[in-house]
Chains A and B, each alone.
Chain A
Amino acid sequence: AMDTDLSSQDRKDLDKFIKFFALKTVQVIVQARLGEKICTRSSSSPTGSDWFNLAIKDIPEVTHEAKKALAGQLPAVGRSMCVEISLKTSEGDSMELEIWCLEMNEKCDKEIKVSYTVYNRLSLLLKSLLAITRVTPAYRLSRKQGHEYVILYRIYFGEVQLSGLGEGFQTVRVGTVGTPVGTITLSCAYRINLAFMSNRQFERTPPIMGIIIDHFVDRPYPSSSPMHPCNYRAGEDNGAVYPSVEDSQEVCTTSFSTSPPSQCVFTVTKAHFQTPPPVVTDTLKVPVMGLAFSHQLSSSRLSCQPAALGVGSADMGYPVLFAGGLNAAHPHQLIGPGKEGGVPPVPSQPAHGTQADQERMCTPLDGGHYSAATPSSSEDTETVSNSSEGKCGSPHDLLETIFIRKVGAFVNKPINQVTMANLDIPFAMFAPKNVELEDNDPMVNPPDSPETESPLQGSLHSEGSSGSSTGNTHDDFVMIDFKPAFSKDDILPMDLGTFYREFQNPPQLSSLSIDIGAQSMAEDLDSLPEKLAVHEKNVKEFDAFVETLQ
């Protein structure tokens, strides 16, 4: 008759098996996310050190982390060992991809032989784990890591937390092994949204921001265990993991481009916006998507004031730029004025809030084999808006935004007539002080100046408008412009960023403005019969023309 209780030897063996099984499980998972092909040799003579008769290498740091997480305990009911695999982009956003769970439930198999059956089944389970780790979506992602993102792992012990995986995550069971003290279960819960993201997306440069941000979840449980990159090898160049943060203060892209770390953007929540004071009465207020201020758009009626804007001036406050090109999921972005007129200091950290808990990217343990993955700044989680608000005055000032716009933005004036202050372009005063002649700028290939006025100019010049351009008493908004990346210096400091912004919200056609619109409509109707008569007269010509097209 078999003793229903486990013999002490069996118990000791079982505990040891479970412990080493847990350690090997972690090794298999992390190694499968290193981004490289794994290869170990078979050996016909038993070496005695290969647990479960499988050649699985032990990466020391990984064992260390696993032991730390386990803290001398074993998986038991309610105490699961979890290996969390996540992805972190070069901009500092991260996303949980998978949670591998080693759990124990209460279902016991008293009859099973520990030293033999349990051991062999644990070995089989590890083989299954080797196979399954290659078929979840994260595997292919991890093989492509290094340039735009890295794969991190984190081990924790306790309750399984699946909330970071997004909606609709899938589960795959790797296997179970019954033991006299409970049934060991190994499974993986993985995010499936990735399944719709072709791996090729990660081969292009961003934007991947929009996707990442959607999945970004504040961790409900600030974890105490740090994240580590899966690729651990020292000395090797694992590929440039992150682009270096530029400290040049000259480069400051406008917010419609996707945001590299050097971009001077400040994230401010909607709550800070108030409605701006109404400006010119005969302009149309066009509500701008997402933001609560009105962007005063009208043709020529935009007033222009080359105000002497310096940072911290009470009039100026904190300018706001709306860029329609942004992914709607982006937090609203501001461009700070910076300390000197025009060019803001580039913050030393990426503006996007990263998650609150510790996330160590490069923690060399026991001799440091982690690649230096991030500039230390990415750990800083406070949004830059906190700091920038302090610089730039009260939130009230946010609304003293002045849109400066002069008539004739494309007029090609000789350069010596152009001064910063009265240039017919927005943000003139924030353009760099030294406007170089195009000859000096090797990148410049200036377009021919338009002979005729562009249609837009036409609308800018509609009736009686030119007068108001000198009025300049109505300060609507100012948009601060900085040199967008890769744009060129023209004769006019009308650069790509300015152009884009300007013409993304074109002035309303005068015919669309209500008061004028009705008028012109009436006029149109009146003139119709006349026009029709003319067309009728020329019908033959038109027909001939149509013939030529066929």
Chain B
Amino acid sequence: RTRCCGPTRAGPAMNCRAEVLEVSVEARQVEEAMLAVLHTVLLHRSTGKFHYKKEGTYSIGTVGTQDVDCDFIDFAYVRVSSEELDRALRKAVGEFKDALRSSGSDGMGQISLEFYQKKKSRWPFSDECIPWELWTIKVNVVNLANEQERQICREKVGEKLCEKIINIVEVMNRHEYLPKMPTQSEVDNVFDTSLKDVQPYLYKISYQITDTLGTSVTTTMRRLIKDTLAL
């Protein structure tokens, strides 16, 4: 299986649609809030597994869904029923949360979910990753003084996330560019076929922690989820 390519080519010039969401949450809400957003996006960007048949036709597997209740937020969301996918997202979000915590700054950062297509290049050039959709969630961690504020925060963040879900659905409904449905030989350039029950578009998750001055201190850490799964 080919390893994925190097850094993605620069975004906007490549006709990549970019959406930015912002949330202010308590430290303990970071994980659930991130998962809610990422899962909602991936719900829309995952299909059933393709099964190619002769003559270039294919059939598509079935995507199941499930409700997830948040513990620290008055909120619930729907995610794709895929433990592998959930694990991958939790791993990425967990790292983001840890980085936020240990940064010691005001607790600002952002996590990005990028959908890309692979374009094969001739040797010695590595394959290109061409993003076609980029979701950025900017996170601001707040510290609350007492239980009453925390309770209000639970509700407020829940309401905010409802708005975010509506925003995400709006974007999805625009029916803008989506990669063409690939032939069997091309499917790995468009979809992540490594999961056993669902097939999301190829994606990568990265994050940045912002210091108090607003500049990016830590280098962008790129994680290729496919790699982490392969470990």
Contacts and interface: CB of A to CB of B under 8 A. Distances in A.
Contacts, number: 121
Interface string B162-196: 10011011101101000001000000000000001
Interface stretch (A93-101, A130-138, A437-445, A458-466): A130-138
A185 to B, nearest CB: 10
Interface string B1-45: 000000000000000000000000000000000000000100110
A93 B51 CA distance: 52
B161 to A, nearest CB: 8
Interface stretch (B65-73, B93-101, B111-119, B215-223): B65-73
B65 A55 contact: yes
Contacts of B78: 38, 130-131, 134
A46 B60 contact: yes
Interface string A442-479: 00000000000000000000000000000000000000
A134 B62 CA distance: 21
Interface in B134-175: 155, 161-162, 165-166, 168-170, 172-173, 175
B158 to A, nearest CB: 8
A43 B197 CA distance: 6
Given A128-B44, A130-B78, A134-B76, A43 B169 contact: no
B162 A128 contact: no
A189 interface: no
Interface in B41-67: 43-44, 47-49, 51, 59-67
A50 to B, nearest CB: 4
Contact of A37 (B40, B61, B69, B166): B69
B62 A54 contact: yes
A209 interface: no
Contacts of A46: 48, 51, 59-62
Contacts of A124: 44, 172-173, 175
A117 to B, nearest CB: 9
A128 B67 contact: no
Nearest to B85: A42
Given A42-B197, A45-B51, A130 B74 contact: no
A12 interface: no
Interface in A208-241: none
Interface in A41-97: 41-47, 50, 53-55
B77 interface: yes
A45 B49 CA distance: 7
B129 interface: no
A53 B166 contact: no
A42 B81 contact: yes
Nearest to B39: A131
B48 A38 contact: no
A128 B63 contact: no
A41 B66 CA distance: 8
A272 B43 CA distance: 60
B173 A42 contact: no
Contacts of B197: 42-44
B209 interface: no
B82 interface: yes
B166 A132 contact: yes
Could you say which of B63, B74, B76, B81 has the most chain A C-beta atoms within 10 Å of its C-beta? B63
Contacts of A130: 43, 65, 78
A127 B43 contact: yes
Contacts of B51: 44-46
A132 B65 CA distance: 14
A172 interface: yes
A183 to B, nearest CB: 11
Interface string A122-150: 00110110111011100110010000000
Contact of A53 (B61, B81, B196): B61
A132 to B, nearest CB: 6
A176 interface: yes
A43 B61 contact: yes
B80 interface: yes
Contacts of A50: 62
A175 interface: yes
Contact of A55 (B44, B81, B165, B196): B81
A126 to B, nearest CB: 10
Interface residues of A, number: 37
Chain B contact surface mostly: mixed
B92 interface: no
Interface residues of B, number: 39
Nearest to A48: B59
Nearest to A186: B173
Nearest to A136: B162
A360 interface: no
B198 interface: yes
Contacts of B196: 44
A477 to B, nearest CB: 48
A143 to B, nearest CB: 8
B65 to A, nearest CB: 6
Contacts of B69: 37
Interface in A158-179: 172-176
A131 B40 contact: yes
Could you say which of A42, A44, A174, A176 has the most chain B C-beta atoms within 10 Å of its C-beta? A42
A55 B63 contact: yes
Contacts of B165: 131-132, 134-135
Contacts of B62: 42-43, 46-47, 50, 53-55
Contacts of B77: 131, 134
A40 interface: yes
Nearest to A172: B166
B206 to A, nearest CB: 24
Given A42-B48, A131-B169, A132-B169, A55 B64 contact: yes
A136 B168 CA distance: 15
A39 B67 contact: yes
A45 B62 CA distance: 7
A43 B81 CA distance: 9
Nearest to B178: A120
Contacts of A19: none
B81 A39 contact: yes
A40 B64 contact: yes
B36 to A, nearest CB: 10
Sort A-B residue pairs by CB-CB distance and give the 9 closest, nearest first: A175-B173, A135-B162, A37-B67, A40-B64, A39-B66, A55-B64, A42-B197, A42-B64, A44-B49
Given A127-B65, A132-B165, 5 more contacts: A42-B198, A43-B64, A130-B65, A134-B76, A134-B78
29 contacts: A37-B66, A38-B78, A39-B64, A42-B48, A42-B62, A42-B63, A42-B64, A42-B197, A42-B198, A44-B49, A50-B62, A53-B48, A53-B60, A54-B62, A54-B65, A55-B62, A55-B81, A124-B44, A127-B65, A130-B65, A131-B40, A131-B168, A132-B165, A132-B166, A135-B162, A172-B166, A173-B170, A175-B173, A176-B173
Interface of A: 37-47, 50, 53-55, 116, 121, 124-125, 127-128, 130-132, 134-136, 139-140, 143, 172-176, 198-199
